[in-house]
Every structure is written in C-alpha cells, then in structure tokens.
Amino acid sequence: MSDRQTVLPDLIDALVALGIARFAEATVTDGPVDMGNLGAYLCIGCDDPFSESARPAATSTIEWVTNNGREESGYVACAIYAWDGSGVMKTARDECLSMASVIQADLKARTVTLDGAHWRDLNFADAQYGQDRLNGAALAVLSFHINYRARI
C-alpha cells in the first residue's frame, strides 16, 4: 500500500511538465491562461471556456478497494487555444488539433508516471471544439478532460 494520499496535485504537475517538454513554441500554464499574444496556449487545470458558470478545474474521488489500497478517479480539465494572426481558421484549427493529438499519444503511451500510483486509466475525454474570429485573428479552442483512475 502506498503512502500517497492523492495523485491529483502530482498529476497536474506532471501534465504541466509534459506540456512544456512537448510544446516549446506554446505557452503552457498551470491554471487559467491570460492570453496577451497570438500563438498557442495549453492550459492544465482550468475551467471550461465554453461554460457560462465556473466549473471545477479538477475532480477527485477516493474509495477503499481492499486492505491493500485505494482507487482514486477523477479528471483534470484542460484547454488548448490556438490563435492565427493572419485570420486563417484552418491554420489555427490544425495547430489546436495537432497539439491534442500529441497529448492523446502521450496518454496512450503512458508517458505520465507517478511514484506510488498505478494507472488503471489515463485518457483524453469530453472534448469540445469551438472557433471564433477577433480583430482579424482566427481562434481555435479545444476544451477536454484528462480522466484518470489510479490504484494508490
């Protein structure tokens, strides 16, 4: 049995580190993003940009399974924003969805590891896509959850 109480804070840290390693040209944030410039942004642990009301940045439920451990499950809310200053929506959309594909591949390959946690599931889910134009720039937005289930 692990001494770990929860995977949630370390999972968020690991996802931020993975984003920084994978997307050198993007701004990766731990929490909400303040978009001051054009370009790509990956927000880990942020609320849903498509919702009018505040949503959780992450959730966690822990249940005892046996005397040898607990199961923790939940999600981390994330969003990708891709701005194209020339106003070409396809360019913004392609960048946004390309970043999502890299994240999906990393989750599938189980590149996120945490000491004392054994992943049962770690997947990309609940994606919502949107696009907009603002001051001549094209914006593509993908919000999604990284769902997890781990034995701790």
| Residue 123 CA: distances (Å) to CA of 19, 55, 134, 135 | 15, 20, 32, 35
User: How confident is residue 45, by pLDDT bands cut at 50, 70 and 90?
Assistant: very high
What is the predicted pLDDT for the residue at 23?
A: 97
pLDDT band at 30 (very low <50, low <70, confident <90, very high): very high
Residue-level pLDDT at 114: 86
Whole-number average pLDDT of the chain: 91
Confidence of residue 2 (pLDDT cuts 50, 70, 90): low
pLDDT digits (tens, 9 = 90+) for 48-71: 777 788 889 999 999 987 777 889
Kindly report the pTM of this predicted structure. Answer: 0.92
89 has pLDDT over 80: yes
Distance of CA 12 to the CA centre of its chain: 8
User: Which tens digits make up the pLDDT trace of 103-137?
Assistant: 999 999 988 888 878 888 999 999 999 999 999 99
Residue found under tokens 């946004």? 96
Q: What does the alpha-carbon distance between residue 94 and residue 82 come to, in Å, rounded to a whole number?
A: 9
Q: What DSSP string describes 39-87? A: SEEEEES---TT-SS---SEEEEEEEEETTEEEEEEEEEEEEEEEETT-
Neighbour tally for 121: CB within 10 Å: 11
Residue 131 and residue 138 in contact, taking contact as beta carbons nearer than 8 Å: yes
The single-letter code of the amino acid at 22 is: R
Q: What was the pLDDT predicted at 88?
A: 97
DSSP state of 116: T
Average pLDDT, integer, range 36-45: 92
Return the axis-axis angle of helices 89-108 and 8-22, rounded to nearest 10°.
Answer: 130
